[in-house]
Amino acid sequence: MAEQREYYEKFAAVLRGGDASELGPWLADANHKERLAIHQGNFRVTASKAMQGIYKAVHRLVGDEYFEALMANFLADQPPKTATLTRYGEGFSDFLRAFAPVQEDLPWLAPVASLDWAWFAAYGAKNTPALTAKDLQGVAAELLPAHAPGLHPSVHLMRFSVTAYSIWRTNIEDEDVQAVPLETGQEWAVVWRENMQIRHQGIMRAQYIFLDAIGDGQALVEAWTAARQHDAQFDLAFEFAHWLNAGVFKGEKNG
């Protein structure tokens, strides 16, 4: 199969931007060499469209032309590995973080991309039930602080050294994008799916620490203790009720 294998390898090289004449011996009509650009375009456009569907805020922020240019670089760096394009692009945020032209001029773009991915991942996360107050009816009040519910699989907790959440939120929610000052410093956010609705919320640092500890499998009282190191007023009962109602804890029976 050596010769035939060569056909596929040469074709793949052309798709990666190689010289179309390499495939000449396999073309019955030499003029069709130029048509290989159709397949080169299909590869680029299909992958790019899949990514546009995921990275909506990034796309809106940078526009078609710049997004296409970013995609061309990303595609060359990290081509799809599987036919499931619904899973393609997870590494885009890290790619942007390491891509010098972006990091120098648009330092908030990689964090915004991580929020786009979080939204997308939450959208397709497993249908695990969230913990409800009803699930806890049999738990004695004094035992509740020792409870370690864990987080629902759709939950993504994020922290940013720039105002990435504010930038992302206005770009996915507002028809007219709001101006966001870049100098206001750190932000923390949580993205999750409540039933079939994607939710997101900007949170305080102590809330981030609390939820992060819960996600690590710690008990409520341990998470509360960690959060109180940054906010002495952190109210366990209030926070637990809030996040329980929001559906961010993992359901007991289907964990």
Partner 1 sequence: MKPTGTLPLRAGLGLKPEHYQNALDAAEKAAGGGLWFEVHPENYMIDGGPRLAWLDAIAERYPLSLHGVGLSLGGPEKPDEAHLARLKKLVDRYNPASVSEHVAWSRLGSTYFADLLPPPPTRQTLQTLGDHIARTQDYLGRQILVENPALYLSLQGDISMVQLYVEAAQMAGAGLLFDLNNIYVCAHNVGGSTQDWLEAVPADQVGEIHLAGYTAQDREGDEVLIDSHGAPISGAVWALYESFITDAGPKPTLIERDENIPPFDELMKEAGQANTIMDSVARDRQYG
Residues forming contacts to partner 1 in the complex (CB under 8 A) are 1, 4-5, 7-9, 11-12, 15, 25-29, 31-32, 34-39, 42-43, 46-47, 50, 79-87, 122-128, 153, 193, 196
Torsion sign (Cα): 201, 204, 206, 209: positive
Q: How far is the CB of 198 from partner 1 (least distance, A)?
A: 9
Euclidean distance between CA atoms 20 and 94, whole angstroms:
32
Look up residue 133 and give its two tokens. Answer: 């107050």
Q: Decide whether 16 or 242 has the Cβ nearer to partner 1.
A: 16
* Alpha-helical segments (H) within 216-247: 220-228, 236-246
Report the C-alpha dihedral over residues 202, 205, 208, 213, rounded to 10 degrees. -170
Least Å from the CB of residue 218 to partner 1: 25
CB of 182 to partner 1, least distance (A): 33
Kindly report the number of other CB atoms within 10 A of residue 75's CB atom.
Answer: 18
| CB neighbours of residue 78 within 10 Å | 16
Q: What does the alpha-carbon distance between residue 180 and residue 167 come to, in Å, rounded to a whole number?
A: 6
Residue 151: strand pairing partners = 249
Q: Between 51 and 226, name the residue whose CB sits nearer to partner 1.
A: 51
**Pair 112, 61: CB distance under 8 Å:** yes
Residue 39 Cβ, how far from partner 1 at the closest point, in Å? 6
Minimum separation from the CB atom of position 68 to partner 1 (A): 15
Q: CA-CA distance, 41 to 52, in Å (whole number)?
A: 16
Closer Cβ to partner 1, 85 or 219, answer by number: 85
Strands 156-160 and 197-203: unpaired
CB of 95 to partner 1, least distance (A): 16
Distance CA 160, CA 168 (A): 12
> Of 9 and 90, which has the nearer Cβ to partner 1?
9
Residue nearer to partner 1 on the CB measure, 76 or 241: 76
CA-CA distance, 113 to 55, in Å (whole number)? 6
Give the residue with the Cβ less far from partner 1, 204 or 246. Answer: 246
Nearer to partner 1, 194 or 231 (CB): 194
Q: Please, what is the minimum distance in Å from the beta carbon of residue 119 to partner 1?
A: 11
